[in-house]
């Protein structure tokens, strides 16, 4: 009996162990299955993120300031001899920027001081960029490949040479040239197509220009707005969504702080970066102006020239966002319609009241209204009498030789 009892106990233990071992094996298998499921889930999530990134990176090209549809509209008007586009095209064609004998003048280091002192390559760089854009436009409209090749030669010369911008005006210089280069590059790369050194040019934008402009500036607002214009255009050309998003966020903050509207309250918004954070500092930053009215800009009482730079950069960025499918024109329309109306009113001859800049302003807004006027008056249907008078009386608006060029040609009454 004792042996049989021991045998029974041993048999039970073996059976239990076998069953326990089976359960361990089954649990392990189930754990492995769950692990595989988790891995698959992580892979699916990674794939989703990759798909989302790919979706976000789907920029429209050409897509910096002018789209293919806009270019096609202009080409059709010039071909038909219609005005004001034909006069604007002829103005561009007769400019020094359209010369096929132009010799590029690149430098490894472009040195730009305050008030262009020193000016070591600054004018050369800006004007070569405008020339590259000019040639790209002429090629698109005329079909003459010599202009596309000249545009490429200008861009290639700089991309093979430039390494840095230095001295006090380096950020602004980088912003101005960096705003124009991508306009030319977009047309050549995505419409002309044959550009062996395109990747080198993209590397130039990525390493020489973008790191300087993307951080913005605490100087007068036109600096940061031009720098954000450059950052947005470069990001589009590089299909760089992260830089694009970063630049747009700063652009929106600076635009809100650059143009005052009554909805802001009793004073303008503080700038997004810098040490201006009291009312007294804000008034000083606004050139001593303490009475704020719709459309007044941070640099109005400095002069209309610099104010025009800021307004132009805002219009360029907003127009690029429209092409890219996330149109910011509706969100900036209230500020921009007031800013244009306010400044063009005085440009058109209205007397300046004593409450504005002590009753005296320095005019000279420049050829900066076509893009915004077309977007606000023609697309959004906003009545803009002062802006219309100013814009139409100055057609064709040409170039300011810095970063604005041929906008009667590209944007006058352009529905695309």
Q: Which residues pair with 120 in a beta bridge?
A: 111
Q: What is the pLDDT of residues 196-248, one digit of tens each?
A: 999 999 999 999 999 999 999 999 999 999 999 999 999 999 999 999 999 99
pLDDT at 15 over 60: no
Question: What is the per-residue burial (b if ≥16 Cβ within 10 Å, else e) of 218-234?
Answer: ebbbbbbbbbbbbbbbb
- What is the reported pLDDT for 110? 98
- What is the reported pLDDT for 114? 94
* pLDDT average, residue stretch 374-396: 98
pLDDT at 12 over 90: no
Q: Which stretch of DSSP H or E encloses residue 230?
A: helix 221-238
Split at pLDDT 50, 70, 90, the class of 3 is: very low
The share of the chain scoring above pLDDT 90, in percent, equals: 86
The pTM score is 0.87
pLDDT at 6 over 70: no
Which overall architecture, per CATH, does domain 57-411 show?
Alpha/alpha barrel (1.50)
Tokens of 196: 């062996």
Split at pLDDT 50, 70, 90, the class of 31 is: very low
- What is the reported pLDDT for 134? 99
In this structure, of 43-52, 251-260, 293-302, 401-410, the range with the lowest mean pLDDT score is: 43-52
Q: Any idea where the domains of the chain sit in the sequence?
A: 57-411
Rg (CA), the chain: 30
- What is the reported pLDDT for 75? 98
What phi and psi values does residue 310 have, to the nearest 5 degrees?
-65, -45
pLDDT at 42 over 50: no
Query: Whole-angstrom Cα distance, residue 54 to residue 41?
Result: 20
* pLDDT average, residue stretch 333-357: 98
* pLDDT average, residue stretch 291-299: 98
- What is the reported pLDDT for 4? 36
12 or 70, greater pLDDT:
70
- What is the reported pLDDT for 17? 37
25 or 367, greater pLDDT:
367
Contact yes or no for 60/325 (Cβ under 8 A): yes
- What is the reported pLDDT for 356? 98
* pLDDT average, residue stretch 321-343: 98
Tokens of 253: 């903050």
- The DSSP code for 118 is S
Split at pLDDT 50, 70, 90, the class of 16 is: very low
- What is the reported pLDDT for 33? 39
Please list, in sequence order, all residues whose beta carbon lies within 8 angstroms of the beta carbon of residue 83, skipping any fewer than 6 positions away.
none
360 or 35, greater pLDDT:
360
Q: What is the pLDDT of residues 133-173, one digit of tens each?
A: 999 999 999 999 999 999 999 999 999 999 999 999 999 99
In this structure, of 22-26, 209-213, 217-221, 387-391, the range with the lowest mean pLDDT score is: 22-26
Mean pLDDT value across the chain: 90
Contact yes or no for 299/220 (Cβ under 8 A): yes
Q: What is the pLDDT of residues 111-126, one digit of tens each?
A: 999 999 999 999 999 9
- What is the reported pLDDT for 68? 98
CA 398 to chain centre: 21
Q: Residue 254's closest CA among 273, 233, 236?
A: 273
* pLDDT average, residue stretch 374-403: 98
């Amino acid at each position: 009996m004792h042996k049989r009892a021991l045998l029974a106990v041993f048999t039970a233990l073996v059976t239990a162990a076998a069953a326990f071992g089976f359960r361990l094996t089954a649990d392990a298998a189930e754990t492995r299955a769950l692990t595989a499921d988790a891995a698959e889930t992580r892979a699916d999530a990674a794939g989703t993120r990759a798909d989302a990134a790919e979706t976000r990176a789907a920029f429209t090209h050409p897509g910096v300031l002018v789209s293919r549809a806009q270019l096609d509209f202009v080409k059709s008007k010039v071909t038909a001899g219609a005005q004001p586009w034909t006069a604007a095209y002829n103005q561009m064609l007769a400019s020094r920027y359209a010369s096929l004998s132009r010799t590029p003048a690149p430098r490894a280091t472009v040195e730009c001081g305050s008030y262009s002192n020193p000016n070591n390559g600054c004018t050369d760089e800006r004007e070569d960029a405008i020339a590259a854009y000019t040639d790209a436009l002429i090629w698109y409209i005329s079909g003459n490949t010599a202009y596309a090749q000249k545009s490429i030669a200008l861009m290639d010369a700089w991309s093979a040479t430039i390494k840095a911008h230095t001295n006090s005006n380096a950020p602004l210089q980088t912003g101005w040239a960096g705003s124009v280069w991508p306009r030319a590059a977009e047309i050549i790369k995505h419409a002309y197509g044959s550009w062996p050194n395109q990747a080198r040019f993209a590397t130039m934008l990525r390493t020489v220009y973008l790191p300087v402009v993307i951080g913005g500036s605490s100087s007068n607002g036109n600096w940061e707005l031009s720098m954000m214009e450059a950052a947005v255009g470069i990001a589009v050309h590089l299909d760089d969504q992260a830089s694009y998003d970063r630049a747009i966020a700063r652009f929106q903050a600076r635009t809100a702080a650059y143009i005052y509207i009554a909805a802001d309250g009793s004073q303008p918004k503080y700038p997004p970066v810098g040490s201006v954070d009291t009312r007294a500092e804000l008034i000083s930053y606004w050139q001593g102006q303490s009475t704020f009215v719709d459309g007044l800009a941070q640099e109005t009482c400095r002069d209309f020239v610099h104010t025009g730079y800021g307004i132009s950069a805002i219009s360029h960025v907003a127009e690029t966002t429209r092409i890219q499918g996330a149109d910011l024109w509706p969100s900036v329309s209230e500020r921009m319609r007031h800013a244009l109306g306010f400044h063009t009113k005085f440009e058109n001859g209205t007397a300046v009241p004593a409450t504005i800049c002590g009753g005296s302003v320095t005019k000279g807004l420049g050829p900066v209204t076509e893009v915004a006027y077309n977007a606000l008056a023609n697309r959004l249907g906003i009545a803009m009498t002062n802006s219309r008078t100013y814009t139409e009386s100055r057609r064709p608006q040409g170039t300011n030789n810095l970063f604005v060029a041929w906008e009667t040609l590209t944007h006058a009454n352009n529905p695309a």
